[in-house]
Amino acid sequence: MKLILVEAEGFENGKLFDPDDRDACLEPFIHLRARLRALGYALETADDRRVTDADWVWFFNVPQEYRRGTDGWAPRTWWRRFARRPRALHAECLAVGLRARTVLFLTEPTVVIPENGDARLHAPFPAVFTWDDRDAGRGPYIKFREPSPSPFPEVPRRGFRDRKLLVTITGNKSSREPGELYSARRRTIRHFERARPHDFDLFGTDWDRGAETYPSYRGPVRHKWTVYPNYRFGLCYENAEGVPGLVSEKIFDCLRAGCVPVYWGAPNIAQYVDADAFIDRTSFASDAELEAALADMSEAEFLRNLAAGREYLRSDRFRAFLSPAFAESIIRGLRLA
């Protein structure tokens, strides 16, 4: 059995394959692991394993050893200030002649990890998987889609009048990088709190921390599918705008739970998701215009959006985002079979 090691920050010690993680979001990696095992590869998180035992080493995002602040290794989040200095795993790979079997996966946009946008840090890798359509197919860059889990539970179908207007399920995050949508997300939340206080709810993490208070906040939620069916529309803002091909699970979680997404992110989203299945936030000049459009939408038009979403979810276009397609894109890209 050949060994593939993975550096995945936050998912060490096998957490990358936890079947009980929120929204079953790690199922694609569990599927990938099983698919690779059938081909004779053992996929494991790197942890303290020796690179001399590995046939491949994969890095999910630019290696931690190359992420720097203003003074050496300076983590951007407060909790990592107390963490140990990251293992120089890529340097270890180079030292033992394993460069040709190192792979970079750019799974986060630059608003989350700025170094992911530095082509100089991509250069040491013979293969770089990216969701960015501007790079895919050029040089070492290989296109992949951020995967969604294949299984999804049945959700209740609620009537138009039994649903509140709008919900968002997201974490309270921020970034100083160009193109970030965290601030736009907060502006929309604030608008609907003022304009529709009884018809808008906010779920997620960290909204009850810090000096600001959010009266619409209803707490964390483990599975989005338990919340979305109670609303007509769900805010699905990506972490960044203006990046062709950056389509995360956000819009799919909403669609699959029978809620109409209000999407803002990839400028070419209609190349990936049928335009009738979601509301394009960029077609509105303000949150007030968005509010008016959502509030004035008839039941018949809403049901047409829902039907378009269900039709899309039965299509090959959507299946390209599920676990089997994700696994095959990697196996094919690296010629592992």
Digits of tens for pLDDT over the chain (337 positions)? 999 999 999 999 999 999 999 999 999 999 999 999 999 999 999 999 999 999 999 999 999 999 975 333 444 454 444 556 788 999 999 999 999 999 999 999 999 999 999 999 999 999 999 999 999 989 999 999 999 999 999 999 999 999 999 999 999 999 999 999 999 999 999 999 999 999 999 999 999 988 899 999 999 999 999 999 999 999 999 999 999 999 999 999 999 999 999 999 999 999 999 999 999 999 999 999 999 999 999 999 999 999 999 999 999 999 999 999 999 999 999 999 9
Q: Enumerate the β-bridge partners of residue 320.
A: none
Buried b (16+ CB within 10 A) or exposed e, 71-94: eeeebeeeeeeeeeebbebbebbe
Contact 179, 243 (CB under 8 A): yes
Q: What is the pTM of this model?
A: 0.92
What values do phi and psi take at 149, rounded to 5? -65, 145
Q: Hey, how many other C-beta atoms are within 10 angstroms of the C-beta on 140?
A: 16
Question: How many whole angstroms separate alpha carbon 80 and alpha carbon 161?
Answer: 46
CA nearest neighbour of 5 among 97, 115, 114, 98: 98
Give the pLDDT confidence score for residue 85 in this predicted structure. Answer: 73
Contact 58, 6 (CB under 8 A): yes
Give the pLDDT confidence score for residue 86 in this predicted structure. Answer: 82
Q: Hey, how many other C-beta atoms are within 10 angstroms of the C-beta on 3?
A: 16
The encoded tokens of residue 194 equal 């003022």
Q: Which domains does the chain have, with CATH numbers?
A: 2-150+322-334 (3.40.50), 160-319 (3.40.50.11660)
pLDDT tens string 229-280: 999 999 999 999 999 999 999 999 999 999 999 999 999 999 999 999 999 9
Question: How many whole angstroms separate alpha carbon 183 and alpha carbon 173?
Answer: 9
Residues 6+ apart with CB under 8 A from 13: 45, 47
- The alpha carbon of 55 is separated from its chain's Cα centroid by a whole number of angstroms, namely 28
Contact 105, 60 (CB under 8 A): yes
Give the pLDDT confidence score for residue 83 in this predicted structure. Answer: 56
